[in-house]
Amino acid sequence: MGTEERNISERLADAVIAVLGFALAFMPLALWAAWSLTVYYWVLGTGTAAVAVMVVLSRVGSPEPVALPARRPRLSYEFITKLHHMIGKSKSAA
């Protein structure tokens, strides 16, 4: 599979996961609004299937390791003290 095909398939997987996540956000409301036990079980089954599809699609992601960000510089004690002092003054002025 080429880079472009892989990129398209990853984008499609991300889009499907986003749509399923949006649908799952409404699951509690749909379960609450279910007017019969049959509808309740249909909604519950649909939610379970959506979660299963999301798990499978999230496992299919790219196997390349993600580069970690560079370490941030350590702040000096004097800078932190000055910053705390400035924040303390701004709180007392408000």
> What's the start-to-end Cα distance of the chain, in Å?
60
- Name the DSSP class of 2: -
Structure tokens at 90: 């701004």
| pLDDT value, residue 61 | 63
pTM for the structure as a whole: 0.57
Per-residue pLDDT at 5 exceeds 90: no
Q: In sequence order, which residues have a C-beta less than 8 Å from that of residue 44 and are 6 or more positions away? A: 31
pLDDT digits (tens, 9 = 90+) for 26-83: 999 999 999 999 999 999 999 999 999 999 888 776 666 667 677 777 888 899 888 8
